[in-house]
Amino acid sequence: MKYLEEFRDAELVHRGLAEIERTVTRPWVIMEICGGQTHAIVRHGLDQLLPGAIELVHGPGCPVCVTPLEQVDKALAIASRPEVIFTSYGDMLRVPGSGRDLMSVRAGGGDVRVVYSPLDAVQLARENPERQVVFFAIGFETTAPANAMSVVQAQSLGLANFSLLVSHVRVPPAMEAILGGEGNRVQGFLAAGHVCAVMGYWEYPAIAERFHVPIVVTGFEPLDLVQGLLETIRLLEVGRAEVANAYRRVVSFEGNRPAQAVIQRVFESCDRAWRGIGIIADSGWRLRAEFAGFDAEQRFDVGGIQPQESPLCIAGLILQGKKKPTDCTAFGTLCTPEQPLGATMVSSEGACSAYYRYRR
Ligand code: SF4
Protein backbone atom coordinates (compact mmCIF):
# COMPACT_ATOMS: atom_id res chain seq x y z
CA MET A 1 0.00 0.00 0.00
CA LYS A 2 1.42 3.37 -0.96
CA TYR A 3 2.51 5.54 2.00
CA LEU A 4 2.16 2.60 4.41
CA GLU A 5 4.03 -0.56 3.40
CA GLU A 6 7.19 1.35 2.49
CA PHE A 7 7.21 2.82 6.01
CA ARG A 8 7.31 -0.73 7.40
CA ASP A 9 10.31 -1.78 5.32
CA ALA A 10 12.67 -3.60 7.70
CA GLU A 11 15.81 -2.82 5.71
CA LEU A 12 15.07 0.92 5.67
CA VAL A 13 14.31 0.82 9.39
CA HIS A 14 17.64 -0.87 10.12
CA ARG A 15 19.45 1.67 7.94
CA GLY A 16 17.84 4.44 9.99
CA LEU A 17 18.83 2.73 13.23
CA ALA A 18 22.42 2.42 11.99
CA GLU A 19 22.42 6.15 11.22
CA ILE A 20 21.20 6.84 14.76
CA GLU A 21 24.04 4.66 16.08
CA ARG A 22 26.55 6.75 14.09
CA THR A 23 24.98 10.05 15.19
CA VAL A 24 24.59 9.65 18.93
CA THR A 25 27.56 10.54 21.16
CA ARG A 26 25.95 10.87 24.60
CA PRO A 27 22.80 9.96 26.58
CA TRP A 28 19.48 11.57 25.67
CA VAL A 29 15.95 11.17 27.06
CA ILE A 30 13.25 11.56 24.40
CA MET A 31 9.50 11.45 24.96
CA GLU A 32 7.01 10.24 22.39
CA ILE A 33 3.85 12.18 23.20
CA CYS A 34 1.29 9.86 21.71
CA GLY A 35 0.05 6.52 23.04
CA GLY A 36 -0.27 5.24 19.49
CA GLN A 37 3.44 5.91 19.03
CA THR A 38 4.17 4.18 22.36
CA HIS A 39 2.36 1.08 21.17
CA ALA A 40 4.18 1.06 17.83
CA ILE A 41 7.56 1.52 19.54
CA VAL A 42 6.99 -1.26 22.07
CA ARG A 43 5.29 -3.57 19.57
CA HIS A 44 8.16 -3.36 17.09
CA GLY A 45 10.80 -3.33 19.84
CA LEU A 46 12.28 -0.09 18.49
CA ASP A 47 13.33 1.10 21.95
CA GLN A 48 15.35 -2.10 22.37
CA LEU A 49 17.02 -1.64 18.98
CA LEU A 50 18.21 1.88 19.79
CA PRO A 51 21.68 2.56 21.17
CA GLY A 52 21.75 2.25 24.97
CA ALA A 53 22.37 5.98 25.28
CA ILE A 54 18.86 6.75 24.01
CA GLU A 55 16.07 6.38 26.55
CA LEU A 56 12.48 6.68 25.37
CA VAL A 57 9.84 7.73 27.91
CA HIS A 58 6.14 7.61 27.26
CA GLY A 59 3.97 10.70 27.23
CA PRO A 60 0.39 11.53 28.13
CA GLY A 61 -1.03 11.33 24.60
CA CYS A 62 -3.62 8.66 25.27
CA PRO A 63 -7.10 10.21 25.44
CA VAL A 64 -8.62 7.41 27.50
CA CYS A 65 -5.71 7.43 29.99
CA VAL A 66 -5.88 11.14 30.78
CA THR A 67 -9.67 11.46 31.05
CA PRO A 68 -10.08 12.28 34.76
CA LEU A 69 -11.74 9.76 37.01
CA GLU A 70 -14.23 12.47 37.96
CA GLN A 71 -15.42 12.67 34.34
CA VAL A 72 -15.70 8.88 34.13
CA ASP A 73 -17.78 8.92 37.33
CA LYS A 74 -19.99 11.65 35.84
CA ALA A 75 -20.43 9.51 32.73
CA LEU A 76 -21.48 6.58 34.92
CA ALA A 77 -23.99 8.74 36.80
CA ILE A 78 -25.51 10.13 33.60
CA ALA A 79 -25.56 6.74 31.85
CA SER A 80 -27.46 5.24 34.80
CA ARG A 81 -30.40 7.60 34.31
CA PRO A 82 -33.44 5.91 32.74
CA GLU A 83 -34.16 8.71 30.27
CA VAL A 84 -30.61 8.70 28.85
CA ILE A 85 -29.03 6.96 25.86
CA PHE A 86 -25.33 7.30 26.67
CA THR A 87 -23.03 7.05 23.65
CA SER A 88 -19.29 6.68 23.51
CA TYR A 89 -16.41 5.27 21.53
CA GLY A 90 -15.89 1.64 22.53
CA ASP A 91 -12.60 2.14 24.34
CA MET A 92 -14.26 4.14 27.16
CA LEU A 93 -16.66 1.34 28.12
CA ARG A 94 -14.16 -0.61 30.19
CA VAL A 95 -12.38 2.34 31.76
CA PRO A 96 -12.89 1.92 35.49
CA GLY A 97 -14.54 4.70 37.43
CA SER A 98 -14.36 4.80 41.23
CA GLY A 99 -16.39 1.62 41.53
CA ARG A 100 -17.52 0.31 38.14
CA ASP A 101 -17.40 1.01 34.40
CA LEU A 102 -19.85 1.82 31.59
CA MET A 103 -19.99 -1.85 30.64
CA SER A 104 -21.36 -2.72 34.07
CA VAL A 105 -23.86 0.15 33.85
CA ARG A 106 -25.06 -1.44 30.60
CA ALA A 107 -25.17 -4.89 32.22
CA GLY A 108 -27.33 -3.34 34.96
CA GLY A 109 -29.87 -2.07 32.43
CA GLY A 110 -28.42 1.31 31.43
CA ASP A 111 -28.77 2.25 27.77
CA VAL A 112 -25.07 2.57 26.86
CA ARG A 113 -24.23 2.37 23.15
CA VAL A 114 -20.98 2.35 21.19
CA VAL A 115 -20.90 4.77 18.26
CA TYR A 116 -18.23 5.39 15.64
CA SER A 117 -18.85 9.11 15.33
CA PRO A 118 -20.56 11.82 17.39
CA LEU A 119 -22.72 12.37 14.31
CA ASP A 120 -24.16 8.88 14.94
CA ALA A 121 -25.22 10.17 18.36
CA VAL A 122 -26.89 13.17 16.71
CA GLN A 123 -28.79 10.75 14.49
CA LEU A 124 -29.86 8.76 17.58
CA ALA A 125 -31.19 11.98 19.10
CA ARG A 126 -33.27 12.59 15.96
CA GLU A 127 -34.67 9.06 16.08
CA ASN A 128 -35.43 9.15 19.83
CA PRO A 129 -36.98 12.55 20.58
CA GLU A 130 -38.39 11.31 23.90
CA ARG A 131 -34.91 10.32 25.19
CA GLN A 132 -31.82 12.34 26.12
CA VAL A 133 -28.80 11.36 24.02
CA VAL A 134 -25.38 12.13 25.52
CA PHE A 135 -22.03 11.68 23.76
CA PHE A 136 -18.83 11.30 25.81
CA ALA A 137 -16.61 13.86 24.07
CA ILE A 138 -13.11 12.96 25.19
CA GLY A 139 -9.77 13.23 23.49
CA PHE A 140 -7.21 15.55 21.99
CA GLU A 141 -7.20 17.88 19.01
CA THR A 142 -7.90 14.87 16.78
CA THR A 143 -11.43 14.22 18.00
CA ALA A 144 -12.41 17.81 18.72
CA PRO A 145 -13.41 18.82 15.15
CA ALA A 146 -16.01 16.03 14.79
CA ASN A 147 -17.33 16.68 18.28
CA ALA A 148 -17.64 20.38 17.48
CA MET A 149 -19.41 19.51 14.22
CA SER A 150 -21.94 17.39 16.12
CA VAL A 151 -22.94 20.42 18.19
CA VAL A 152 -23.20 22.60 15.07
CA GLN A 153 -25.39 19.97 13.44
CA ALA A 154 -27.57 19.44 16.54
CA GLN A 155 -28.09 23.19 16.75
CA SER A 156 -29.03 23.49 13.09
CA LEU A 157 -31.52 20.62 13.53
CA GLY A 158 -32.99 22.28 16.62
CA LEU A 159 -32.34 19.20 18.77
CA ALA A 160 -33.07 19.79 22.46
CA ASN A 161 -32.23 16.21 23.49
CA PHE A 162 -28.56 16.05 22.47
CA SER A 163 -25.60 16.97 24.66
CA LEU A 164 -21.87 16.36 25.12
CA LEU A 165 -20.04 15.34 28.28
CA VAL A 166 -16.86 17.21 27.40
CA SER A 167 -13.37 16.23 28.53
CA HIS A 168 -11.16 17.64 25.79
CA VAL A 169 -7.44 18.16 26.28
CA ARG A 170 -4.71 19.86 24.24
CA VAL A 171 -1.16 18.68 23.68
CA PRO A 172 0.99 21.87 23.78
CA PRO A 173 0.08 22.86 27.39
CA ALA A 174 0.85 19.29 28.53
CA MET A 175 4.28 19.48 26.89
CA GLU A 176 4.94 22.75 28.71
CA ALA A 177 3.77 21.25 32.02
CA ILE A 178 6.10 18.26 31.59
CA LEU A 179 9.07 20.40 30.59
CA GLY A 180 8.48 22.88 33.44
CA GLY A 181 7.69 20.22 36.03
CA GLU A 182 9.91 19.29 38.94
CA GLY A 183 12.30 16.48 38.08
CA ASN A 184 11.69 16.69 34.34
CA ARG A 185 14.02 14.40 32.37
CA VAL A 186 12.68 15.00 28.86
CA GLN A 187 15.23 16.58 26.50
CA GLY A 188 13.44 16.18 23.20
CA PHE A 189 9.94 15.38 21.90
CA LEU A 190 8.42 13.32 19.15
CA ALA A 191 5.23 15.31 18.51
CA ALA A 192 2.10 13.36 17.56
CA GLY A 193 1.62 13.39 13.80
CA HIS A 194 -2.16 13.03 13.80
CA VAL A 195 -2.62 15.92 16.26
CA CYS A 196 -0.37 18.05 14.04
CA ALA A 197 -2.37 17.00 10.97
CA VAL A 198 -5.29 18.90 12.54
CA MET A 199 -3.51 21.70 14.39
CA GLY A 200 -0.30 22.11 12.38
CA TYR A 201 2.81 22.77 14.40
CA TRP A 202 2.82 26.55 14.56
CA GLU A 203 2.37 26.36 18.37
CA TYR A 204 5.62 24.44 18.86
CA PRO A 205 8.48 26.86 18.01
CA ALA A 206 7.66 28.97 21.09
CA ILE A 207 7.81 25.86 23.31
CA ALA A 208 11.08 24.69 21.75
CA GLU A 209 12.63 28.10 22.28
CA ARG A 210 11.34 28.60 25.83
CA PHE A 211 12.47 25.20 27.13
CA HIS A 212 15.37 24.72 24.73
CA VAL A 213 14.23 21.34 23.40
CA PRO A 214 13.91 20.03 19.85
CA ILE A 215 10.43 18.91 18.79
CA VAL A 216 10.00 16.68 15.76
CA VAL A 217 6.59 15.96 14.22
CA THR A 218 6.55 12.18 13.79
CA GLY A 219 4.27 9.54 12.31
CA PHE A 220 3.32 6.07 13.49
CA GLU A 221 4.97 3.47 11.28
CA PRO A 222 8.36 2.03 12.26
CA LEU A 223 10.25 4.05 9.64
CA ASP A 224 8.37 7.21 10.62
CA LEU A 225 9.43 6.69 14.23
CA VAL A 226 13.05 6.00 13.35
CA GLN A 227 13.16 9.09 11.11
CA GLY A 228 11.61 11.18 13.90
CA LEU A 229 14.12 9.87 16.41
CA LEU A 230 17.06 10.42 14.06
CA GLU A 231 16.01 14.01 13.43
CA THR A 232 15.54 14.62 17.18
CA ILE A 233 18.95 13.14 18.00
CA ARG A 234 20.63 15.18 15.26
CA LEU A 235 19.16 18.36 16.71
CA LEU A 236 20.08 17.35 20.27
CA GLU A 237 23.64 16.53 19.28
CA VAL A 238 24.22 19.97 17.76
CA GLY A 239 22.30 21.80 20.52
CA ARG A 240 19.57 23.18 18.29
CA ALA A 241 16.18 23.71 19.93
CA GLU A 242 14.21 23.65 16.70
CA VAL A 243 10.97 22.22 15.40
CA ALA A 244 11.19 19.80 12.46
CA ASN A 245 8.61 17.90 10.46
CA ALA A 246 9.40 14.23 9.83
CA TYR A 247 5.81 13.48 8.75
CA ARG A 248 5.54 15.70 5.69
CA ARG A 249 3.26 13.38 3.76
CA VAL A 250 0.49 14.21 6.25
CA VAL A 251 1.35 17.35 8.23
CA SER A 252 1.73 20.97 7.18
CA PHE A 253 2.88 23.87 9.36
CA GLU A 254 -0.57 25.50 9.45
CA GLY A 255 -2.60 22.26 9.74
CA ASN A 256 -6.24 21.86 8.82
CA ARG A 257 -7.62 25.40 9.05
CA PRO A 258 -11.34 24.49 8.57
CA ALA A 259 -11.04 21.92 11.38
CA GLN A 260 -9.38 24.51 13.62
CA ALA A 261 -12.14 26.98 12.75
CA VAL A 262 -14.99 24.67 13.81
CA ILE A 263 -13.15 23.92 17.07
CA GLN A 264 -12.79 27.65 17.74
CA ARG A 265 -16.43 28.26 16.89
CA VAL A 266 -17.77 25.72 19.41
CA PHE A 267 -15.12 25.40 22.11
CA GLU A 268 -13.10 27.79 24.25
CA SER A 269 -9.93 27.20 26.19
CA CYS A 270 -10.13 26.23 29.89
CA ASP A 271 -8.06 24.70 32.68
CA ARG A 272 -8.45 20.93 32.62
CA ALA A 273 -7.61 18.07 35.00
CA TRP A 274 -5.52 15.22 33.51
CA ARG A 275 -5.93 11.86 35.16
CA GLY A 276 -2.97 11.11 37.44
CA ILE A 277 -1.32 14.46 36.65
CA GLY A 278 -3.74 17.09 37.95
CA ILE A 279 -4.91 20.40 36.59
CA ILE A 280 -2.90 21.90 33.74
CA ALA A 281 -3.68 25.54 33.07
CA ASP A 282 -5.34 26.32 29.76
CA SER A 283 -5.00 22.69 28.64
CA GLY A 284 -8.59 21.87 27.74
CA TRP A 285 -11.60 22.93 25.75
CA ARG A 286 -15.13 23.48 27.00
CA LEU A 287 -18.28 24.49 25.18
CA ARG A 288 -18.66 28.21 24.60
CA ALA A 289 -21.47 29.93 26.50
CA GLU A 290 -23.62 30.12 23.36
CA PHE A 291 -23.56 26.29 23.21
CA ALA A 292 -24.17 25.74 26.95
CA GLY A 293 -27.50 24.11 26.12
CA PHE A 294 -25.53 21.18 24.71
CA ASP A 295 -23.45 20.71 27.88
CA ALA A 296 -24.41 17.47 29.66
CA GLU A 297 -22.85 18.70 32.92
CA GLN A 298 -25.34 21.56 32.94
CA ARG A 299 -28.27 19.41 31.83
CA PHE A 300 -27.74 16.73 34.51
CA ASP A 301 -26.88 17.22 38.17
CA VAL A 302 -23.44 15.59 38.46
CA GLY A 303 -21.52 18.29 40.32
CA GLY A 304 -20.77 16.65 43.68
CA ILE A 305 -18.88 13.52 42.63
CA GLN A 306 -15.74 12.68 44.66
CA PRO A 307 -13.60 10.13 42.81
CA GLN A 308 -11.38 7.50 44.44
CA GLU A 309 -8.17 6.50 42.61
CA SER A 310 -6.40 3.23 43.39
CA PRO A 311 -3.54 4.07 45.78
CA LEU A 312 -1.33 1.55 43.93
CA CYS A 313 -1.58 3.21 40.53
CA ILE A 314 1.38 5.32 39.38
CA ALA A 315 -0.07 6.10 35.95
CA GLY A 316 0.39 9.83 36.50
CA LEU A 317 4.16 9.40 36.89
CA ILE A 318 4.27 7.14 33.82
CA LEU A 319 2.38 9.72 31.77
CA GLN A 320 4.96 12.37 32.72
CA GLY A 321 7.90 10.17 31.74
CA LYS A 322 9.10 9.76 35.35
CA LYS A 323 8.37 6.01 35.71
CA LYS A 324 7.90 2.99 33.46
CA PRO A 325 4.96 0.54 33.74
CA THR A 326 7.30 -2.13 35.08
CA ASP A 327 8.09 0.18 38.05
CA CYS A 328 4.49 -0.31 39.28
CA THR A 329 4.12 -3.00 41.95
CA ALA A 330 0.68 -3.92 40.62
CA PHE A 331 1.81 -4.36 36.98
CA GLY A 332 0.75 -7.74 35.60
CA THR A 333 -0.41 -9.03 38.99
CA LEU A 334 -3.10 -6.94 40.64
CA CYS A 335 -3.48 -4.89 37.46
CA THR A 336 -4.06 -6.57 34.08
CA PRO A 337 -6.11 -5.63 30.98
CA GLU A 338 -8.87 -7.89 32.31
CA GLN A 339 -8.79 -6.29 35.79
CA PRO A 340 -7.29 -2.82 35.25
CA LEU A 341 -6.63 -0.56 38.22
CA GLY A 342 -5.79 2.43 36.06
CA ALA A 343 -6.59 3.79 32.63
CA THR A 344 -3.09 3.22 31.20
CA MET A 345 -3.81 -0.51 31.46
CA VAL A 346 -7.34 -0.52 30.08
CA SER A 347 -6.77 1.75 27.12
CA SER A 348 -5.49 0.16 23.92
CA GLU A 349 -3.12 3.15 23.67
CA GLY A 350 -1.97 3.03 27.31
CA ALA A 351 1.69 2.43 28.12
CA CYS A 352 0.88 -0.25 30.74
CA SER A 353 -1.26 -2.10 28.21
CA ALA A 354 1.59 -1.94 25.63
CA TYR A 355 4.11 -3.34 28.11
CA TYR A 356 1.64 -6.04 29.19
CA ARG A 357 1.01 -7.14 25.61
CA TYR A 358 4.55 -6.99 24.25
CA ARG A 359 7.05 -6.93 27.12
CA ARG A 360 6.15 -9.56 29.68
S1 SF4 B 1 0.09 -1.22 35.98
FE2 SF4 B 1 -2.03 -0.64 36.51
S3 SF4 B 1 -1.91 0.16 38.60
FE4 SF4 B 1 0.17 0.17 37.74
S5 SF4 B 1 0.41 2.22 36.81
FE6 SF4 B 1 -0.30 0.85 35.19
S7 SF4 B 1 -2.55 1.13 35.23
FE8 SF4 B 1 -1.79 1.91 37.19
Residue nearest to atom 8 of ligand 1 (CA): 313
Quick check: 226 and 241 in contact, CB under 8 A?
Answer: no
Q: Does the Cβ of 96 fall within 6 Å of ligand 1?
A: no
CA of 325 to the centre of ligand 1 (A): 7
Q: From the CB of residue 237, how many other CB atoms can be counted at a distance below 10 Å? A: 14
352 CB under 6 A from ligand 1?
Answer: yes
Q: How many CB atoms lie within 10 A of CB 44?
A: 18
Q: Where do the H-state alpha helices sit in the chain?
A: 10-23, 35-44, 46-49, 63-66, 69-79, 102-107, 118-127, 144-156, 171-180, 193-199, 204-211, 222-237, 257-266, 296-299, 315-319, 343-346, 351-358
Single-letter residue type at 250: V
Does any ligand 1 atom lie closer than 6 A to the CB of residue 65?
no
* Distance from C-alpha of 139 to C-alpha of 157, rounded to nearest angstrom: 25
What pLDDT was estimated at residue 1? 53
Cα(16)–Cα(20) distance, integer angstroms: 6
Measured in Å, residue 343 CA sits from the centre of ligand 1 at 8
Q: What is the per-residue pLDDT for 200?
A: 98
Query: 330 CB under 6 A from ligand 1?
Result: yes
Closest Cα to atom 1 of ligand 1: 331
Distance of CA 340 from the midpoint of ligand 1 (Å): 7
pLDDT at site 269: 96
Q: 268 to each of 61, 142, 231, 254, 272, how far by Cα in Å? A: 20, 16, 34, 20, 12
Task: Determine the atom of ligand 1 nearest the C-alpha atom of 342.
Answer: 7
DSSP state of 111: E
| C-alpha pair distances (Å), 61 with each of 33, 195, 275 | 5, 10, 12
**Sheet of strand 84-88: strand arrangement:** 111-114, 84-88, 132-139, 162-169, 278-287, 267-274
pLDDT in tens, the chain (360 residues): 566 778 888 999 999 999 999 999 999 999 999 999 999 999 999 999 999 999 999 999 889 889 988 999 999 999 999 999 999 999 899 888 887 899 999 999 999 999 999 999 999 999 999 999 999 999 999 999 999 999 999 999 999 999 999 999 999 999 999 999 999 999 999 999 999 999 999 999 999 999 999 999 999 999 999 999 999 999 999 999 999 999 999 999 999 999 999 999 999 999 999 988 889 999 999 999 999 999 999 999 887 777 777 889 999 899 888 999 999 999 999 999 888 888 888 887 899 999 999 987
Cα–ligand 1 centroid distance for 357 (angstroms): 14
Q: How far apart are CA 59 and CA 316, in angstroms?
A: 10
Q: Which residues does 291 contact at the CB level (< 8 Å), separation at least 6? A: 151, 155, 266
Q: What is the pTM of this model?
A: 0.92
Closest CA to 300 of 147, 144, 165: 165
Q: Is 342 in the pocket of ligand 1 (CB under 6 A)?
A: yes
